[in-house]
Structure 1
Amino acid sequence: MKIRFLIIAFILTSISFAQTKVGTINTEYIISKMPEFKEVQKKLETYGKTLDAGLKEKFDEYQEKVKAYTEKESTYTESLKKLKQKDIVKLEEDIQKLRTNSGKLLQVRQDELLRPLYNKIGNEVDKIVKEEGFTHIFNETNSLIYIAPEYDITIKVMKRLNIPVEETAAQN
């Protein structure tokens, strides 16, 4: 029993003395410099225009129904008025849902399109972590206050992905 306790204590002590090496990366900066990012932006813009067109179509339909209703309201029976009003209210709700869902759909599409770029970066980060013995990598966009520049692997990842590195970025 004492031997087990000593072995466990030794292992825990060894683990606590293991050296920690922390690095940082700015994935947003890397993605903004990737050639594929321009294509992602174009696809998102096209998708956004498609969503906007669907919304505009519904809004135009809504305006036509409101106009027709106001012009002919006096000729409608009470039951027809209620039916037309119900139809207009449903269109208002549909437009509101489309507005809400458009933003969510655009975000989902953006995530789908950016996932391969993040995967590429992740693969290179994994290689650098193994080669250089990092124990932690933090993304700079998550409010990191300070880290010494020599621990920033952003430029290393960009070079491995054959992304042109600007001189000012390489110096930072």
Structure 2
Amino acid sequence: MRKLVLFVALALAAFVSHAQAPATTTTTKVGYADVDYIFSQMPEAKQIDSDLKSLQTQLKNQVDTKYQEFQKKLADYQANLNTMIDAVRANTERELQQMQQNIEKLQQDSQTTLQAKQTALMDPVYKKVGKGIEDVAKENGYTFILNQQIGGLDVILYGDEKMDISDLVLKKLGVTPKPAGTPATTPVKPK
């Protein structure tokens, strides 16, 4: 996502500097694509989603198991607190504290693992989509292609639908776009 934001920022900067340059004989043709829409239409998207959900469930089960062990140990500690000798009480408190720290670390490691897996699975697809966008842009004479949205925020506030190359990119990648009326993309909002 950071690469995409950087790409769009550089494209906009280049576009602005090109627009400020003296008029030349070349025409600037600007189009836009909805990368999230394209990605959602890719066959790989369903498999990636399934793989990530499976990993997320597996990691959640590991955390839940450790948490249940902690809860059981805590309940035993609380039930026997009045009858414990000081040394056993102190030792049990240290164990509970260590278990709690281990659970927190496991949660953090799970998030890191999930993010790493997501990046590993999505990077090749985003590269494929990027290459498709580049090929379509070159084949159709576009100087710039902007992303319609970044992080849920509109980058294109108005755009002629004829300049949306998302379906051309999908076709270039061998994917048949879903028919119109399928709520797979957010329409461009008029000014």
Both structures adopt the same fold (TM-score exceeding 0.5): yes
1:111 is displaced (CA, Å) by 1.9
Alignment map for 1:20-35 (pairs within 5 Å): 20-35=28-43
1:55 is displaced (CA, Å) by 0.3
The whole-number CA distance in structure 2 between the counterparts of 1:149 and 1:89 is 59
Match of 1:113 in 2: 121
Residue among 169, 175, 179 paired with 1:157: 169
1:169 is displaced (CA, Å) by 6.6
Residue among 41, 53, 58 paired with 1:50: 58
- The AA in structure 2 aligned to 1:92 is Q
More off after superposition, 46-55 vs 79-88: 79-88
- CA deviations on 1:70-119 (whole Å, 9 max, x unpaired) are 23333432232112112112222222333344334323322221111111
Task: Answer whether contact 2:41 2:178 (CA < 8 A) is retained.
Answer: no
- CA deviations on 1:3-45 (whole Å, 9 max, x unpaired) are xxxxxxxxx9xx5324322111111111111111111111111
Structure 2: where are the runs of 5+ without partners?
A: 1-17
CA RMSD of aligned residues (A): 2.3
- 1:73 equivalent in alignment to 2:81: yes
Match of 1:16 in 2: 22
Residue among 140, 143, 148 paired with 2:160: 148
Relative contact order (alpha carbons < 8 A, sep ≥ 6): 1 or 2 greater? 1
More off after superposition, 137-146 vs 66-75: 66-75
Q: Which has the larger radius of gyration?
A: 1
Relative to structure 1, the CA distance from residue 169 to residue 30 in structure 2 (aligned partners, 3 Å threshold; closer, same or farther) is farther
The whole-number CA distance in structure 1 between the counterparts of 2:62 and 2:84 is 30
Structure 1: where are the runs of 5+ without partners?
A: 1-11
- 1:102 equivalent in alignment to 2:114: no
State TM-score, norm by structure 2: 0.73
State TM-score, norm by structure 1: 0.80
SS at match of 2:180: helix
1:51 is displaced (CA, Å) by 0.5
Match of 2:142 in 1: 134
Identity fraction in percent: 27
Aligned length: 158
The whole-number CA distance in structure 1 between the counterparts of 2:138 and 2:178 is 26
